[in-house]
Structure 1
Amino acid sequence: MNPDQTVFDTLIIGGGPGGLTAAIYLRRFTRNIALVDKGHSRLGWIPVSHNYPGFPDGINGKQLLENLRAQLGRYGGHVMPGEITDLRLEDGLFVGDCAGPDGDLTRLRAHTVLLATGVADAGMPVARWDEAVAAGAVRLCPVCDGYDVIDRRIGVVTSEVNPVGHALFMRTFSEDVLLFERSAASVLNEEERRQLEAANVRHVESALVGVSMSEDLKPVLHTADGEDYPCDVFYPMLGENARSDLAAGLGAETVECRKLLVDDHLRTSVPGLYAIGDVTRGLNQIAVATGQAAIAATSIHNTLPWALRTT
């Protein structure tokens, strides 16, 4: 099959758990798809996920991705490595320019597009980042793994929206929670300070300026006043922006953090353009992304003309 000359039923952009699940569904619906992925799924960062259904002992993020790719392969699908650098409409079809790993350019045309491009995290100065995440010393999702850090000393950083919310959430798992300021000027109001005091969360007023790792891979948080705070676990609460530029370029409606606004069928405001997972407004969870993938893939299948079976 020559991708440049094929009109696909669906172009899927992003090969994380959502994109792969959607591809599996669409291939089982016998749809002709192209799935393009540049290999940056956040799932690959997770050493072990204990809250994804069906794996009582947990599942490594990279292993889960491999399992999904293998399952897609059972139905004749595969992942095309590369990045969609431009997405547009021409003569009633979506056209995506795909830059391959070797710099070669492929033009993909499709009746529908499903975006599963996720989010880009804002920075936080953490030394030995990869090692720290792999060891579970730095964690990214309180909803995912709060249970796994019960009764440890937990460091959390304020966020722009609801700055004390994550600290209070983690207080339900541990009585030893420290909340650090992200910048020199505190974003907390008096009511939020009262909430922290009532919950016995320690508020460190001096701004966090960096995080180093001890020899045994425990995070040590450094503040602007020169103090050091050893912790067992650190949640940087990275800010995020959705990777929604391709959709926004087509006029799709976005909300906070550039996330895409979708309806109950995961349709964006652009006809034929769907979005699932972290790139949309909602709860950033693997199970949410895969559930949305099932809904979107089924909706796409039912919207496209029937591909009647012939033998």
Structure 2
Amino acid sequence: MPSLSHVYDTLIIGGGPGGLTAAIYLRRFTRNVALVDKGNSRLRLIPVSHNYPGFPEGVPGHALLGNLTAQLERYGGSVMPGEILDLRIEDGHFVADYAAEDAPAGEPVQIRALTVLLATGVADVGLPVENWREAVAFGSVRLCPVCDGFDVMDKRIAVATAEINPVGHALFMRTFSADVTLFERGPASILTDDDRRRLDAAGVRYIDSPLLSVTLDAAMKPVMHTADGNDHPADVFYPMLGENARSGLAAKLGAETAHCDELVVDSHGATAVPGLYAIGDVTVGLNQIAVATGQAARAATHIHNRLPPALRAAQAASPLALHRAA
């Protein structure tokens, strides 16, 4: 199998906000970085984020990714489009099989690195929603109550139950609206008597007939269709899709995983595998852009400090510098 000729300080897998931020930090530390991105960042789905610091008017997801990519390029870095198919350890190095996006069919290229940082995020699963991407882009279907609850103030809000803490998101949305309805995702209710009491106390309606599908009306607003034949219009729908972390590459090497395959890491983003790090949604914790970028800064700094020193080569002093020294 062909191999790139040198060993990178760090291979970053995933070019979302976390991966790009880590690459920017490491390039500013003068580290040799390869960043491979498959193009699956959930940030691309966000029409406008209003809770990412520094953008008082909000920032479209694609624009934030573009800004981060341009900032990386300023420091000599770039994104390698494609996929890491396999990751292993050989002779003290991490070895990854890289299939470039535009490469002809054939054997992948090997990338060798001293450390690896996963910023691969999560894959959504869940309910059938008509024209899902268009609905997300329009804002009638939303993915993150923490991110944008403020933006749907006093709207008619529909929420689907989640596997873990099924009523939690509906109760959370009562912060922002008095009109919240919780729909049962599965064929049988998983709510306890205590769950039902909490919903009643908060004034959240509960529809126990299973939610079969969601369509959009002429105004692009969601309509929930339940098994009892009823239709339930709303202004916005939070499907609480459920998710699985894209952690397979790390788990294969022995990294510890938790619920939804999320990786367990320490405060520096280190997994149980020496030299293997993870940040952002693929790890246990709060899935937020700001969290991912903060974790990236911490992990990248730790990686830099743990790697062999990146010593700057001596350069001849300029005439101006010599004049000042005299």
Quickly name the TM-score band, shorter chain normalised: over 0.9
SS at match of 2:208: strand
Q: Which residue of structure 1 lines up, in the alignment, with residue 305 of structure 2?
A: 302
Q: Which residue of structure 2 lines up, in the alignment, with residue 117 of structure 1?
A: 120
1:177 correspondence with 2:186: no
Q: Which of 133, 138, 151 is equivalent to 2:136?
A: 133
Q: Which residue of structure 2 lines up, in the alignment, with residue 47 of structure 1?
A: 47
Q: Supply the AA of the counterpart residue of 1:101.
A: E
Q: Which residue of structure 2 lines up, in the alignment, with residue 76 of structure 1?
A: 76
1:250 correspondence with 2:253: yes
- More moved, 122-131 vs 283-292: 122-131
Report the Cα distance in structure 1 between the residues aligned to 2:310 and 2:131, rounded to whole angstroms.
51
Cα distance per residue 1:223-259 (max 9 Å; x no partner): 0011000000000001111000000010101111110
* Structure 1 residue 304, shift from structure 2 partner: 0.2
Q: Supply the AA of the counterpart residue of 2:117.
A: L
* Structure 1 residue 6, shift from structure 2 partner: 1.3
SS at match of 1:76: coil
Kindly report the root-mean-square deviation, in angstroms, between the aligned alpha carbons of the 2 structures.
0.9
Q: Supply the AA of the counterpart residue of 1:145.
A: D
Q: Which residue of structure 1 lines up, in the alignment, with residue 295 of structure 2?
A: 292
SS at match of 2:285: coil
Report the Cα distance in structure 2 between the residues aligned to 1:3 and 1:169, rounded to whole angstroms.
50
SS at match of 2:135: helix
Report the Cα distance in structure 2 between the residues aligned to 1:108 and 1:124, rounded to whole angstroms.
38
Cα distance per residue 1:177-210 (max 9 Å; x no partner): 0000001210000000000000010000100000
Report the Cα distance in structure 2 between the residues aligned to 1:151 and 1:307, rounded to whole angstroms.
54
1:203 correspondence with 2:206: yes
1:98 correspondence with 2:92: no
Report the Cα distance in structure 1 between the residues aligned to 2:296 and 2:187, rounded to whole angstroms.
41
Q: Supply the AA of the counterpart residue of 2:148.
A: D
Q: Which residue of structure 1 lines up, in the alignment, with residue 323 of structure 2?
A: none
1:237 correspondence with 2:235: no
Cα distance per residue 1:39-92 (max 9 Å; x no partner): 010000000000000000000000000000000000000000000010000000
Cα distance per residue 1:77-126 (max 9 Å; x no partner): 00000000100000000000011123452210000000000001113100
Q: Supply the AA of the counterpart residue of 2:22.
A: A
1:222 correspondence with 2:232: no
Q: Which residue of structure 2 lines up, in the alignment, with residue 60 of structure 1?
A: 60
Q: Supply the AA of the counterpart residue of 1:126.
A: V
Q: Supply the AA of the counterpart residue of 1:74.
A: R
Identity across matched positions, percent: 70
Report the Cα distance in structure 2 between the residues aligned to 1:100 and 1:186, rounded to whole angstroms.
46
SS at match of 2:15: coil
* Structure 1 residue 269, shift from structure 2 partner: 0.1
* Structure 1 residue 3, shift from structure 2 partner: 6.5
Which stretches in structure 2 are left out of the alignment for 5+ residues?
316-326
Q: Which residue of structure 2 lines up, in the alignment, with residue 27 of structure 1?
A: 27
SS at match of 1:6: strand
Which stretches in structure 1 are left out of the alignment for 5+ residues?
none
Cα distance per residue 1:114-141 (max 9 Å; x no partner): 0000001113100011110011000000
Report the Cα distance in structure 1 between the residues aligned to 2:246 and 2:171, rounded to whole angstroms.
29
Report the Cα distance in structure 2 between the residues aligned to 1:120 and 1:57, rounded to whole angstroms.
28
SS at match of 1:206: coil
Q: Supply the AA of the counterpart residue of 1:224.
A: A
- Listed as ranges, the matches of 1:155-170 within 5 Å are 155-170=158-173
Report the Cα distance in structure 2 between the residues aligned to 1:89 and 1:9, rounded to whole angstroms.
14
Report the Cα distance in structure 2 between the residues aligned to 1:276 and 1:3, rounded to whole angstroms.
27
TM-score by length of 2: 0.94
Report the Cα distance in structure 1 between the residues aligned to 2:126 and 2:102, rounded to whole angstroms.
28
Report the Cα distance in structure 2 between the residues aligned to 1:130 and 1:257, rounded to whole angstroms.
23
Q: Which residue of structure 1 lines up, in the alignment, with residue 17 of structure 2?
A: 17
1:4 correspondence with 2:4: yes
Q: Which residue of structure 2 lines up, in the alignment, with residue 277 of structure 1?
A: 280
Q: Which residue of structure 1 lines up, in the alignment, with residue 320 of structure 2?
A: none
Q: Supply the AA of the counterpart residue of 1:86.
A: D
